[in-house]
Structure 1
Amino acid sequence: MGVAEREAGAAGEGGAARGRPRSEAVERAIIEGVMRLLEEGVPLADISIERIARIAGVGKATIYRRWRGREELFCDVLRTAEQPDPELPGVSMREDLIILLESLRQRGLANRSSVILHNVHAQMKSSPKLWKVYHSAVIEPRRRMTLDVLRRGRRNGEIRADIDLELINDIFTGPMLVRSVVRPDAELEEGLSELIVDTVLEGLRPGRP
């Protein structure tokens, strides 16, 4: 029995220690086990559930009770390695858009400096199933956050009512993604988020042709 399972078992013996803390200890051990393998340069294709269970000190059934498969587990590993999604104050559309783009800029910087994020994002391109799960669990929620901010801005009259919000969403995030992914040698300098937001908003305000 591994360390995580011994910790879980000990928690289960005392009534006051049952429940969520036990689950968190086991999940942390599993996720940290995957992260150790990735830091060592092990390709995603070589990280099996059996290998994860062995390095985390748990049984395979323990993993499958928490994740339906490797793809879901890898998504949680990525979420752990990345910065959490930002809190939006909701004071103005401009401020919220800058916060969202700044989060994207910081993720771009992290992808360049983190062995885990760089390796996993590169390998996801060859795994359509993993990419689909990651897109649904991580990318789409972030996209919806930006669309919600744009909808609120349109309702409040901060941008014109006749614009295609899906297109504008792409126009806001596109430059940051190009510099983060397509042009990894490009600068992701401080102030870039404000520059992108203010440049795009200049053409979206009411009264502009």
Structure 2
Amino acid sequence: MSLAGSRPRQACPTRGRPRSEAVERAIVEGVMKLLEDGVPLAELSIERVARTAGVGKATIYRRWSGKEELFVDVMRAAEPPDPELPGTSMRDDLVVLLETMRRRGLLNRSSMMLHNVYAQMKSSPKLWAAYEATVIAPRREAVHEVLRRGQRNGELCADADIELVNDIVVGPMVVRAFMRPEAELPEGLAERIVDTVLVGLRPVSSTAP
């Protein structure tokens, strides 16, 4: 389930009751507070979250099926939002997607809370699987769609392996942003990666001499 902003707003909320968006925001902020206070994910029970957010457990369960779904939404709220793609070209869209990854990497480095939570998530197979399915897989599919559109538009070799090209384009940013904390993440890195990779993936003109 996504955060409150993705659902229609109620035009006339019941007098005296908080709006649904406000309730969900309080719950998400409650989890964030506990994480910032150093509470491990394993100790974040729904009961503890409800107590911190000032709501009942039933209020949480009406919005999220369990801890994994709630934590995924909390992490999505803590990260930069997925970008709107310009749609002007495959190259421009890939640059935007990689730039967002660069910014996530910078945020992960600057936020000890996020860094610790990511590490804890990876040690929890069930939680990481939920994050993978809900967040990572859709982002990967977004890159795939950009590449497929590039093939249709003649910007990418028609016989290119989309899965492999995805790894070739995204891989350098993943390594620098999330696997090498000492590596620099300068502005312009997304453009450099995309332009370097695409040089060898552009269709070759078949025009005879």
Pair in the same fold by TM > 0.5: yes
Deviation of residue 53 (structure 1)? Answer: 0.7
Deviation of residue 89 (structure 1)? Answer: 1.4
For the residues of structure 2 that align with 1:56 and 1:116, how far apart are their CA atoms?
19
Structure 2 length-normalised TM: 0.89
Partner residue in 1 for 2:197: 200
Structure 1, 74-83 or 178-187: larger mean CA deviation: 178-187
Structure 1, 95-104 or 182-191: larger mean CA deviation: 182-191
1:124/1:130 contact within 8 Å kept? yes
Tell me which amino acid in the other structure corresponds to 2:37.
E
1:120-131 pair list within 5 angstroms:
120-131=117-128
Establish whether residue 16 from structure 1 lines up as the match of residue 47 from structure 2: no
1:159/1:205 contact within 8 Å kept? yes
Large movers: runs of 4+ above 6 Å: none
Partner residue in 2 for 1:32: 29
For the residues of structure 2 that align with 1:204 and 1:45, how far apart are their CA atoms?
45
Partner residue in 2 for 1:4: none
Tell me which amino acid in the other structure corresponds to 2:86.
P
For the residues of structure 2 that align with 1:69 and 1:101, how far apart are their CA atoms?
32
1:54 is paired with a residue of what secondary structure? Answer: helix
Partner residue in 2 for 1:5: none
Q: Identify which of 84, 88, 103 aligns with 2:85.
A: 88
Partner residue in 1 for 2:49: 52
Tell me which amino acid in the other structure corresponds to 2:78.
A
Provide Cα deviations, 1:5-58, integer angstroms capped at 9, x if missing partner. xxxxxxx9xx93249x71111101110000001111111011111110111011
Partner residue in 2 for 1:135: 132
Q: Identify which of 142, 161, 175 aligns with 1:178.
A: 175
Partner residue in 2 for 1:66: 63
Q: How many residues align?
A: 196
Counting helix residues as a fraction of each chain, which structure ranks higher?
1
Q: Alignment identity in percent?
A: 69
Partner residue in 1 for 2:3: none
1:101/1:173 contact within 8 Å kept? yes
Structure 2, gaps ≥5 residues long = 1-9
Tell me which amino acid in the other structure corresponds to 1:183.
R
Structure 1, gaps ≥5 residues long = 1-11
For the residues of structure 2 that align with 1:74 and 1:114, how far apart are their CA atoms?
17
Structure 1 length-normalised TM: 0.89
1:17 is paired with a residue of what secondary structure? Answer: coil
1:31/1:77 contact within 8 Å kept? yes
1:38/1:119 contact within 8 Å kept? no
Deviation of residue 117 (structure 1)? Answer: 1.7
Partner residue in 1 for 2:159: 162
